[in-house]
Amino acid sequence: MPGQNRLRRSRQVARLTRRGWFLVVLGAIALPASYWLGRRELLYLGCFILLLPLFALAFVRWRRMSLSVERTFSPPAVGAGHPSVVDVQIRTLLPTSILDVYWRDSLPWAPYSTNLTRLPGRSTTLNLRYEVVPPSRGIFEIGPMLVDFSDPFGLADGARTVGRPQRLIVTPDVVQLTDDAVAISADEGSSRVVKRRALSGEDDLMTREYRRGDAIRRVHWRASAHHGELMVRQEEQRSHAEARIVFDTRRGNYRDASGTPRRGDVESRSFEWVVAFVASLGLHLQRSGVLVQVIETGAAQLADIDRPEEFLESLAAVGLVDAPPVPLSLLRSAERPDRSQGSIIAVLSDADSDTLERLITQRRSFDLAVAFLVGPSRPELAESLDSAGWLCIDVNPDAPVELAWMALGASQEGSRGRA
């Protein structure tokens, strides 16, 4: 933000207008002319003409202007590429009213400020509204407000910053994914509740011995006659589909990552695609009744996906890290032969050897294992995962998120997925 800071500092300095400079030049001509022509009135006129711009500069430089600025964003958190309405309330903290000035709000992206707009004067409180469209995710500061003004004669003008910046949360753009691209655990889920059947038979699964306090209406008479003692129906065991999303956040695993991106640029296009995909996929599965866990390869930065708003806000601020990889534990509980460990979806760019080894060794525990490989193609990485039973989808960072999701459905039909 150095360029923007220089703009703010320069705009706080009073300066002469063309009219003011014209008077300075005119006064500078009048002073020597008074000596050449021997006319004292030219000397008085020249001094008067020179003093007018100086008084105008002093007026602009030392003008008292105490304003408070409060912004309200609607919605408070907006998706990248979507508009947000900014309501601004400006109040004067002095007993006088707000005089005619021009204002513009500072923006963190090009063109770095709103359009210059006139503030109507003669009021103590003003309400303004404008719209912004953030081009990328992040937590941005909107403001401070730049107020332009001049002296009554238009000889000098200047600007001051008013109020403090306020944060606008810009989340990744969440797109709607289709339900028919892939089945996450075909026989389980909150919308696909199933009975677990034991080897001893359905009656033994559905009943247990009578315990004091059990309601008579729960007595299973057929099973009671079979066992020779009272048996009651027990609650059906239910389980939910489970999915884990491996989210690679290590800077060294993204070839296109730049350590010091230029202002307005993203650090890694591949990483931005991964963030958008994790947001869309995680919320899609969570809304479908799947138990979702997002596993980060670096230090934890994300909120629990069970709180969608907080999860999206944490994705707005997530960034690449340089710390060593965190040992991946992809299993939620110990492996059991009668229980599926769910599905695993890894969203990677250029996985390190430690992460790759853990993905390969733990593959056998999951019903579905999919790896979305984002960025330049790495055949050796795809071959290693393929041989371990993973479905690999090659993704171009410029491809739409929904296209990559549909490519998964095509890969399950026998062809190598590519988006």
| Range of lowest pLDDT (32-36, 73-77, 123-127, 340-344) | 340-344
Confidence of residue 7 (pLDDT cuts 50, 70, 90): very low
pLDDT band at 281; cut points 50, 70, 90 = very high
Question: In the chain, what are the domain boundaries?
Answer: 2-62, 67-171, 202-233, 242-418
Using CB atoms within 10 Å of the CB of residue 41, give its burial: 0 to 12 exposed, 13 to 18 middle, 19+ buried. exposed
- In this predicted structure, which of 67-81, 87-101, 192-206, 253-267 has the lowest mean pLDDT? 192-206
> In this predicted model, which residue has the larger pLDDT, 415 or 13?
13
Of 239, 236, 240, 238, nearest to 202 by C-alpha is 236
Q: Which residue's structure tokens are 């979702």? A: 292
pLDDT (0 to 100) of residue 205: 46
**CATH class of residue range 242-418:** alpha beta
Would you tell me which CATH number, out of the four given (2.60.40.10, 1.10.760.10, 3.40.50.2000, 2.60.40.420), belongs to the domain 67-171?
A: 2.60.40.10
CA distance 69 to 91: 7
Cis, peptide link before residue 376, omega less than 30° from 0: no
Instruction: Find all residues with CB under 8 Å of 359, minimum gap 6, and list them.
Output: 246, 328, 330, 344, 346, 351, 369, 371, 385, 388, 390
Q: Is 282 exposed, middle or buried (0-12, 13-18, 19+ CB in 10 A)?
A: buried
Cα separation, 284 vs 177, whole angstroms: 7
DSSP class of 14: -
Return the minimum-mean-pLDDT range out of 23-32, 99-108, 133-142, 325-334.
325-334
Q: How many CB atoms lie within 10 A of CB 410?
A: 15
What are the backbone dihedrals phi and psi of residue 380, each rounded to the nearest 5 degrees, phi first?
-65, -35
Distance CA 252, CA 8 (A): 36
Report yes or no: 247 and 325 within 8 Å, Cβ to Cβ.
Answer: no
Average pLDDT of the residues in 300-321: 94
Q: What is the C-alpha to C-alpha distance for residues 206 and 213, in angstroms, rounded to an integer? A: 18
Q: Return the higher-pLDDT residue of 69 and 259.
A: 69
Whole-number pLDDT of residue 9: 41
Q: Is the pLDDT of residue 1 over 80?
A: no
Please name every residue paired with 46 in a beta bridge, in sequence order, or none if there are none. Answer: none
Left, alpha or beta for 366 (phi > 0: left; psi -120 to 50: alpha)? beta
| pLDDT tens digits along 82-99 | 999 999 998 887 766 566
Q: Distance (Å, rounded) from C-alpha 348 to C-alpha 250?
A: 10
* Proportion of the chain above pLDDT 90, given as a percent: 37
Backbone φ/ψ region at 186: left (φ over 0), alpha (ψ -120 to 50), beta: alpha
Mean pLDDT of the chain: 81
Place 64 in a pLDDT band, splitting at 50, 70 and 90: confident
Q: Is the peptide bond before 144 cis (omega within 30 degrees of 0)?
A: yes
Distance CA 368, CA 280 (A): 19
Residue position matching structure tokens 């601004």:
88
Confidence bin at 339 (pLDDT 50/70/90): low
Across residues 10-33, what is the average pLDDT? 85
In percent, the amount of the chain with pLDDT more than 70 equals: 77
């769910």: which residue's tokens?
342
For 130-182, write each residue's pLDDT tens digit. 999 999 999 999 999 988 888 888 899 888 888 899 999 999 999 999 876 66
The residue assigned the tokens 């989808």 is 393
Kindly compute the dihedral angle of the four CA atoms of residues 158, 162, 164, 169, in this order, to the nearest 10 degrees: -80
Number of other residues whose CB lies within 10 A of the CB of residue 200: 8
Q: What is the pLDDT of residues 390-413, one digit of tens each?
A: 889 999 999 999 999 988 876 655
Check residues 204 and 223 and name the one with the higher pLDDT: 223
Phi, psi of 178 (to 5 degrees): -75, 155
